[in-house]
Amino acid sequence: MQNEDDLRGLAKVVDFLRAVSILLILIHIYWYCYAWFKANGFTLSLIDKVLINFQKSGLFSSTLVTKLFALLLLALSCLGTQGIKNEKITWRNINLYAGIGFSLYFFNGWLLATSLPMVVVTSLYALTLSGGYIFLMIAGVWVSRLLKSKRLDDVFNRENESFMQEIRLMTNPNSVNLPTRFYYKKKYYNGWINVVNVFRASMVLGTPGSGKSYAIVNGYIKQQIEKGFAMYLYDYKYPDLTKIAYNHLLQHTAGYTVTPKFYTINFDDPRRSHRCNPLNPIFMTDISDAYEASYTIMLNLNRTWVEKQGDFFVESPIILLAAIIWFLKIYENGKYCTFPHAIEFLNRKYADTFIILTSYPELENYLSAFMDAWESNAQDQLQGQIASAKIPLSRLISPALYWVMSGNDFTLDVNNPDEPKILCIGNNPERQSIYGAALGLYNGRVVKLINKKYRLKSSVIIDELPTIFFKGLDNLIATARANLVAILLGFQDFSQLIRDYGEKEAKVIINTVGNVFAGQVVGDTAKTLSERFGKIVQERQSNTINRNDNSSTFNTQLDVLIPPSKISNLTQGTFVGSVADNFDQRIEQKIFHCEILVDTEQVKKEEKAYREIPVITDFCDENGIDRMDEQIQNNYNRIKREVIQIIEDEKKRIKNDPNLRHLLKEDEEE
């Protein structure tokens, strides 16, 4: 009731001020066109006496003074206008009406000085003054209504969802620091993403072209080399990342006590590839190591098996290959323990294969399922078990691949304090299905070897993680922190990771990573990230507008800090995420939503000065003739001959051993 009384009182004041303003306009016309009113007998002596007294106040000392005073009263009356919502009211219309009104109202004084007939002068002056006043009054009312209606200018809720972020640079001997630019309260700030604990693992998400590699992965590579990390780098689009690592190492060796050596694995160009045996027997201490290697190879070749782990026809080929690998490890002290030898051994006659493998007590029980099928003449089952291993592995029979994987230029203990390494292995998107298994084997062996105590701090950078599979990644994330292993995983979307790693393992990977960077992602990934970033207290305003009233209500409520829709529409180079901190380096605001700044001119300058990956092996003979194809083919033929010789020698051994001769006899009966 009190509110209604106040509104009625305000309306009376508005009406009074406007009435006085209009009265001044009428008196103004009467005063300055007095000659016409007098000539036509429209004057009153009482009004004349009153106006003479007004003249002493200076109100009618000039046309401008009266107009300004009347306009002031009009403006005051407009301030009390209620904010009735009208969608047709726009600033464009207001400016148009105000411009016309201002021109007619203030620039008509010249009419009084003309020699036109008095009736024409009076009519034109009164018409222009009144018209200008009306236009100005409409513009003033509209301004008042527009301002009081409080239209929502921040339609995307940018102000509520902006927040203060870290502007301090926090460094330590292991940190990665990325410069940023972010928006908060209508102002842009320069800040930092401080990854002060890189050993709690990091993941970078984003659709293709969102800037993952350019803004983040490249920064990790450069800064970790500068700070003395040994490094294992999986380069899906070789040599993009490899070239950065190689050239940055050339310029920054001061951070290392022992200068690391640079190694690269590349099946496409054997000239620029080192040779390395991922099944080096020195680092295989138990048959479980052979099983893990076999598991990694087979699941890289058959991604659908990820969800079928434990099935008979999934485990059978894995066990068979593991038995072959372990046999090669114990045969002549591992002289022939390489992946190419394992492939060739598997592709020999299965009768020879089983005779040899079961002649070793440590493998006899391991292959019991195969032996049961063999002894019971279940040929269809046995051939199915063997074929499920042979068929996928046959895709890897390649002279170039045999060449790279049968040498021993270096070992995979990347973070060996005495021989630190920067190891880059390159894939090719066009041959991903072929190279993935071999490269996955390198990944699995590296992860096994570096996750040990008393080693150098090291970095594992896997770009496009779903393109390869290796066992134990979730365990590495959970345990590597204690062994100073920093992990960076790059992929496009959670659904992609779930598809290629299985739901259980993918969720473990997602939930155990401490540092998260996300560019533009959509769907369930955006929702999951939004929930991870939590909620914030946001101010809400509710406006109620009708013909006679305009009221606003303010309240606060918890709402998501970064909604999924905003994550789904991030600009290239803009990322959201959160970082982990340390006991001695607390970060109050761990969440960020910012543009990561990259000095593009400096990057271009560095790239122009980059050296190409050097030639590792020169296949030319003393006459300068390229013998690469010949040497690689000779290596391929040598491996095949060695496997054939192994089988012949083993069959002779079995034949000459009375305790094993029965195996050979059973084979002959078959």
Lowest mean pLDDT among 19-33, 156-170, 536-550: 536-550
On the question of pLDDT at 596 being above 90, the answer is yes
The DSSP bridge partners found for residue 593 are 576
pLDDT of residue 55: 63
Mean per-residue pLDDT, 189-215: 94
Distance CA 338, CA 378 (A): 31
pLDDT band at 53 (very low <50, low <70, confident <90, very high): low
Name the token pair of 79.
């301030």
Half-sphere exposure of 426 (CA within 13 A, CB side): 23
Q: What residue ranges in 534-603 does DSSP mark as E strands? A: 535-545, 550-560, 574-578, 591-596
On the question of pLDDT at 1 being above 50, the answer is no
Half-sphere exposure of 413 (CA within 13 A, CB side): 13
Who's near 6: CB < 8 A, 6+ residues apart? none
Distance CA 274, CA 409 (A): 6
Name the token pair of 479.
């345990």
End-to-end alpha carbon distance in the chain: 107
Who's near 499: CB < 8 A, 6+ residues apart? 466
pLDDT of residue 488: 95
- Environment class of 478 (CB within 10 Å of its CB; exposed 0-12, middle 13-18, buried 19+): middle
- pLDDT tens for residues 361-377? 888 777 776 766 666 66
pLDDT of residue 528: 92
pLDDT band at 129 (very low <50, low <70, confident <90, very high): confident
Please state the domain extents for the chain. Answer: 2-149, 176-270+415-538+556-603, 281-398+631-669
Q: SS3 of 411, please?
A: coil
Mean per-residue pLDDT, 343-354: 86
pLDDT of residue 265: 94
Cβ(422)–Cβ(225) under 8 Å? yes
What share of the chain has pLDDT > 90, as a percent? 39
Distance CA 385, CA 527 (A): 43
pLDDT, greater one: 57 or 427:
427
CB count in 10 Å sphere of residue 117: 10
- Scanning 417-522, the segments in alpha helix (DSSP H) are 432-450, 473-479, 494-501, 503-512
Please tell me what DSSP assigns to residue 597.
P
On the question of pLDDT at 348 being above 70, the answer is yes
Distance CA 250, CA 11 (A): 80
Q: Tell me whether the omega of the peptide bond preceding residue 239 falls within 30 degrees of 0, making it cis.
A: yes
Mean per-residue pLDDT, 91-116: 82
On the question of pLDDT at 546 being above 80, the answer is no
Cβ(542)–Cβ(553) under 8 Å? yes
- Residues 234-257 as b or e (16 or more Cβ within 10 Å = b): bbbebbebbbbbbbbbeeeeeebe
pLDDT of residue 537: 74
- pLDDT tens for residues 367-426? 776 766 666 666 666 677 777 778 888 888 889 999 999 989 999 999 999 999 999 999
pLDDT band at 665 (very low <50, low <70, confident <90, very high): very low
pLDDT, greater one: 40 or 262:
262
Distance CA 337, CA 324 (A): 9
- pLDDT tens for residues 203-240? 999 999 899 999 999 999 999 999 999 999 999 989 99
Cβ(221)–Cβ(460) under 8 Å? no
Q: What fold does the segment set 176-270+415-538+556-603 form as a domain?
A: Rossmann fold (3.40.50)
On the question of pLDDT at 166 being above 70, the answer is yes
Which of the listed ranges 116-125, 440-449, 640-649 does the model predict with the highest average pLDDT?
640-649
